[in-house]
Amino acid sequence: MFRTFLVTGASKGIGLALAQRLTCDGHRVVGLARGPSPDFPGELISVDLGDGEATGRVLADLAERIPFDGVVNNVGLVRPQRLGSIELPALDEVLRLNLHPAVQTAQALLPGMKARSWGRIVNISSLTVLGAVERTAYAAAKAALVSFGRSWALELATTGITVNTVAPGPTETELFRANNPPGSEGERRYLSAVPMARFGRPDEIAAAIAFLLSDDAGFVTGQTIHVDGGASIGKSAF
Ligand SMILES: NC(=O)c1ccc[n+]([C@@H]2O[C@H](COP(=O)([O-])OP(=O)(O)OC[C@H]3O[C@@H](n4cnc5c(N)ncnc54)[C@H](O)[C@@H]3O)[C@@H](O)[C@H]2O)c1
């Protein structure tokens, strides 16, 4: 069955790879991002998801004109800060951009999904929920997304709407490279944490999300899938 999905942060990286994958599978994808992308395969709407009012207006319009079957809350922001020099406005900015749009999209699309008794919400978390150097705000926000998913899954359990989380490990995207340039200490640290000894590709993360959006995943809810080359189980000492 072909569906219609909304993807936030869709112009690059994991969001773009997901849009391409879903389109290849025959689905319709509407994306939200700050800027245009020549590679985006569907309707890409320009909005700053950090602007709650503008986001609310865009979502109200979309929910009215398009019967969405699901949403992938993919937009995210990292501002590396070490304990001792954490600035509260930056902490708030990271928490807000990772969390507010997820609540807004879920709430905007919920009435339509409930009316059709079918829906999918997938939140994109991160390996850093396990703890990561200089990632206080980011890791906390990503842990909150896992928690959102479990609470929403329970609230919606009898509605036909599932809610799940994908937690990528280090993945070759602009966001990852901006914080961990080639040859940096960060790159070395992340690589050494992945038993498969390589970074993920955006299409590998997209494949796990596509599964959770599918009819095949109809009995899966409240779960977190780690797509991280084994990083979340760690390297065996034996
Ligand atoms: N790349 C990794 O290693 C990695 C690891 C774990 C989790 N993640 C998570 O995966 C998700 C996608 O990350 P990515 O690496 O593909 O990022 P990316 O920087 O490559 O892409 C981010 C996307 O978000 C959009 N975006 C950013 N700020 C926005 C704003 N204020 N308003 C609207 N759109 C905005 C950008 O336009 C872009 O489309 C994020 O939630 C990130 O935290 C990434």
Label residue 24 by pLDDT band (50, 70, 90): very high
What is the pTM for the complete model shown?
0.97
Measure the CA–CA gap between 92 and 29, rounded to whole angstroms: 30
13 C-beta closer than 6 A to ligand 1:
yes
Are 148 and 123 in contact by the 8 Å Cβ rule? The answer is yes
Q: 5, 40, 138, 152: which is the annotated catalytic residue?
A: 138
Q: Does ligand 1 lie within 6 Å of residue 30's CB atom?
A: no
Position 238 scores a pLDDT of 66
Q: Is the CB of 141 under 6 A from ligand 1?
A: no
**190 tagged catalytic:** no
**Torsion angle, alpha carbons of 145, 7, 76, 205, to 10:** 80
ipTM of the complex: 0.98
Which atom of ligand 1 lies nearest, measured to the CA of 124? 41
Residue type, 127: L
Q: Tokens in use for 106?
A: 């879920």
How much is the pLDDT for 236? 65
Q: Atom 17 (ligand 1): residue with closest C-alpha?
A: 175
Check residue 210 and give its pLDDT.
98
Other residues' Cβ atoms within 10 Å of the Cβ of residue 89: 8
Q: What is the mean pLDDT of residues 8-34?
A: 98
Contacts of 161 (CB under 8 A, 6+ apart): 110, 113, 114, 118, 119, 120, 121
Segment 83-93, tens digit of pLDDT? 999 999 999 99
Q: Is the shortest distance between the CB of 51 and ligand 1 below 6 Å?
A: no
- pLDDT tens digits, 111-170: 999 999 999 999 999 999 999 999 999 999 999 999 999 999 999 999 999 999 999 999
Question: What pLDDT shows up at residue 234?
Answer: 83
Instruction: Look at the block and give the residue holding tokens 């990561």.
Output: 132
CB burial of residue 68 (10 Å; 0-12, 13-18, 19+) = buried
